[in-house]
Amino acid sequence: MSIAIHSNMLATRRFLTKGGDLKGTLPVVSFERNVDAQSIAITCVERLSNLKPTDLLADSLWKDNVCIAGTFRTFHSSNIIASTWVDMVSKQMAEHFCLIPHTAHTFELAGVPAWISAGFSFSMKGSPSRQCSGFLNAAPDDHGIWKIFSLTTILEAIDGFPNPDTPPSTGPLPAKDGVFDCLVVGAGACGLCLGARLQSVGLSYLVVDKHTTVGDVWRKRYDSTKLHLNSTFSDFPYERLLDPNKYYPTGVDMANAHQAFAEQWRLNIQNSTEVKSAKWHPDSKTWTIQVIHSGNEDTIVAKHLVMATGSGISHPITPSLANRETFHGTVLHTSDWKNAHPFTGKRGIVIGSANSAFDIIEDMVLANLSSVTMIQRSRTRVINGKHFRQLTDPLYNKDSNIELSDRLMMATPYQHGRLMTMANVAAMQAGDQGRYKKLGQAGFRYEENTDFNGDYMERGGGHYLDVGQTRYIEDGRVGVRSGFEAVAFTEDGVRLASGEVVEGDVVVFATGFRFGMKEGAMEIVGEEIGGRLDEFWGLDENGDTRGLAKPIGHPNIWYLGGGTGHARFYSRFLALQILADVMGSPFVPYSGT
C-alpha cells in the first residue's frame, strides 16, 4: 500500500526485498508556488509520444499497471525507461497522449512545493486495443529544466467491452458448454470483487467458498473485531455499503457489507463448497476442479483458476510452549477467541503485541478481568493513528472518488509512495514529540515508525496501528512483560525465559498467521505445478508486489489477496487479463530489463 497525500484531494515477517534496497529517489528542489503547472504538464505529456532519456531525471521510476508492459512492472533510470517506453509504445501502437483537464497542479510534500503532477490519457491500437490513463510528476533539474521523474500507466478498458469499474448491468452468465471462463476459490472481498468485475466485462464465472454464508469469514472472528482502516478505504467498489460516518468498521459491518454486495449484484456464488484438487489440461487449456459441495462430490471445468483464499488469516501460528498439559486454565489463539465475557474476574494473558493483541487486551479490560498482562516478545513498530489518518483521510472520505483514490494510492511506483509517506510522517512526528513516552515508561518496547508502507507490503504486518488502545498500558490497566519469551506453562500461568511466572487463567496467543498463498495453491494443484508457482506478497527486486493479480509461473492460475482496498483495485486488472485471454489476445508480460 503506497500512502501519499495528493494535494488536489487534501492531497515479524521478512520478504526478499526491503524498500531501503530499492532504487529511486525523490527530487530535492525548490521553486515558486506560482509556476505555470498547466504549461509544464502540457510539455511533459507531449514528450510521451517519443520519450527520450533527456526528458527524464536520471533516477526516475515508471510503474506500468498491465497497460504497456502487459503486467505490473516498475522500471528504473532514465535510459532504461526511455528505451523500454519507446520500444513498447511503438509495438503497441500507442497514440493520442492528452493531458486530462484540470489535473495539473503543484504537489506539496510536508507543506513545501515539491513537483508538478498531472494526469493523462492515451489509447493503444495493438492487440487487444485498449484505453489507458496515467500520472506523471515533473521537477526541475540542476539547470532549471523541467523533467519527468515519475510515470504511472494504467489499463482502463479493452475496446468493445465495459470498463470493469462500471457496475454489472446484467446477472451472471452461465457456463458455455459446461466450461466457465473462471473459477474463483474464496468468497471474501477478493473473490467477491473479482466476481463482480468478471460479470461487468461479460465473462462467466463461479465463486466457491467453504463457508455456509457470504460474510462468515468475518462473522467467525472475535466479537470485538474492528478494522484499523477507515470505512471508505475498506468499502466495496461501485456503491458505498459501509457507513462513512462510522470511522472504523466492525467485523459485523464487514460481514454485512460482503453479503449485501453479493446480493446487490446477484453474484454467482456456491457456498458450502471445498475445493479438493485441480488438474490442468494443456490441450484444451482448461482446469478440471474436484469439489465437495454440501457433502457431495462434484466437478467444475474452467479456463482460469483464481486463488482468493486469504493471504494472512488461514493458518494460525501458535508457538509450542512446554508443559501445556500442566496448565489448569484455557489456551486459545486469536482465531478461536470470541469474547472475554466468560473470563470476567479472571486473570488474562495475551502473548503478542500487534493489532490483534491490542484488540484482545481491550476486550479483556472492558469485560472486567481481574488482571490483564501482555507478553511482548520483541520490540513493536507503532504507527501513530493520528498521523495515519492525516495521510489517508484526504484520499478516502465520504466525498472521495474511490476509483481515483485507488489509482493514486496503489498504481504509482512503490518506492516513491514509500518515500513520500516517510517524509510526511517525519514532519508530523517532529511536531508530536513524546506521544508514546508513557507507553515506554510502562515497559512497552516500541519503535515509532515512519515507514508505514514497509510494515504492510514488505513485512506483511506485525505492527500496531494505534487506534487508542495504548491507553490501557499507559494508565496501568494492562501490565507488560517485555524482553523475554514465554517458554513454558505452569499450573497457574506462563513462565518466561527470565524465570518469572506470569499468573493467568486464560492465555491468548496473538501470534499471527502463516502468510502467503502458494502452500494452499499447491494443496489443490499438486506439487508438480505448485512447485513452479511464485510466492505471494512481499516485494520483488523492482519494487512490485509478488504474485498479486499477475502471472505466477503456470498458465491460467492466479493469486488475488490483500485487504478490501487491494481486492477493489487489483480485481479490475485481473478481470481484464482474463478477458484478454478468453478473447484470444492475452497480454504478454514484458521480459526485458
pLDDT (mean) for 204-220: 97
Across the chain, how many H-helices and E-strands are there?
A: 15, 25
Nearest-5° Cα angle at 533, 531 to 536? 125
pLDDT (mean) for 335-345: 97
* Whether residue 6 has pLDDT greater than 50: no
Higher pLDDT, 463 or 134: 134
User: Under a CB-based contact definition with an 8 Å cutoff, are residues 12 and 462 in contact?
Assistant: yes
φ, ψ dihedrals at 15, nearest 5°: -115, 180
DSSP-derived 3-state class of residue 513: strand
What is the rounded CA–CA span in Å between residue 124 and residue 95?
6
Domain 31-158 class, CATH top level = alpha beta
Question: What cell numbers appear for 406 in the block?
Answer: 485507488
Q: 133-142, 168-177, 409-418, 449-458 — which is least confidently predicted? A: 449-458
Which part of the chain has CATH 3.10.450.50? Answer: 31-158
Q: Which of 565, 566, 555, 562 is nearest to 589 (CA)?
A: 555
| pLDDT tier for residue 343 given thresholds of 50, 70 and 90 | very high
pLDDT (mean) for 241-262: 96
Predicted pLDDT of residue 112? 87
Mean pLDDT, all residues of the chain? 93
pLDDT (mean) for 333-359: 97
Taking the model in full, what pTM does it have?
Answer: 0.94
Nearest-5° Cα angle at 587, 586 to 593? 150
pLDDT (mean) for 468-479: 97
* Whether residue 509 has pLDDT greater than 80: yes
Alpha-carbon separation of residue 540 from 150, 415, 545 (angstroms)? 19, 12, 6
* Whether residue 3 has pLDDT greater than 70: no
User: Under a CB-based contact definition with an 8 Å cutoff, are residues 154 and 411 in contact?
Assistant: yes
| pLDDT tier for residue 459 given thresholds of 50, 70 and 90 | low
| pLDDT tier for residue 9 given thresholds of 50, 70 and 90 | very low
* Whether residue 348 has pLDDT greater than 80: yes
What is the rounded CA–CA span in Å between residue 144 and residue 322?
67
Higher pLDDT, 516 or 131: 131
Q: 358-372, 508-522, 548-562 — which is least confidently predicted? A: 508-522
Q: Which fold has domain 324-509?
A: FAD/NAD(P)-binding domain (3.50.50)
Predicted pLDDT of residue 70? 96
| Burial (CB count <10 Å: 0-12, 13-18, 19+), residue 163 | middle
| pLDDT tier for residue 457 given thresholds of 50, 70 and 90 | confident
Q: 122: which DSSP letter?
A: E
| pLDDT tier for residue 513 given thresholds of 50, 70 and 90 | confident
Q: What's the CATH architecture for 179-313+517-583?
A: 3-Layer(bba) Sandwich (3.50)
117-120: list long-range contacts, CB under 8 Å, 24+ apart. 117/6, 117/7, 117/8, 118/37, 118/41, 118/44, 118/45, 120/45, 120/48
The tens digit of pLDDT for each residue in 268-319 reads: 999 999 999 999 999 999 999 999 999 999 999 999 999 999 865 667 889 9
Q: 227-231, 270-274, 352-356, 423-427 — which is least confidently predicted? A: 423-427
Q: 108-112, 246-250, 304-308 — which is least confidently predicted? A: 108-112
Predicted pLDDT of residue 383? 87
End-to-end CA distance of the chain: 25
What is the rounded CA–CA span in Å between residue 198 and residue 192?
10
* Whether residue 593 has pLDDT greater than 90: no
State percent of the chain over pLDDT 70.
95
State percent of the chain over pLDDT 90.
84
| pLDDT tier for residue 14 given thresholds of 50, 70 and 90 | very low
Which part of the chain has CATH 3.50.50.60? Answer: 179-313+517-583, 324-509
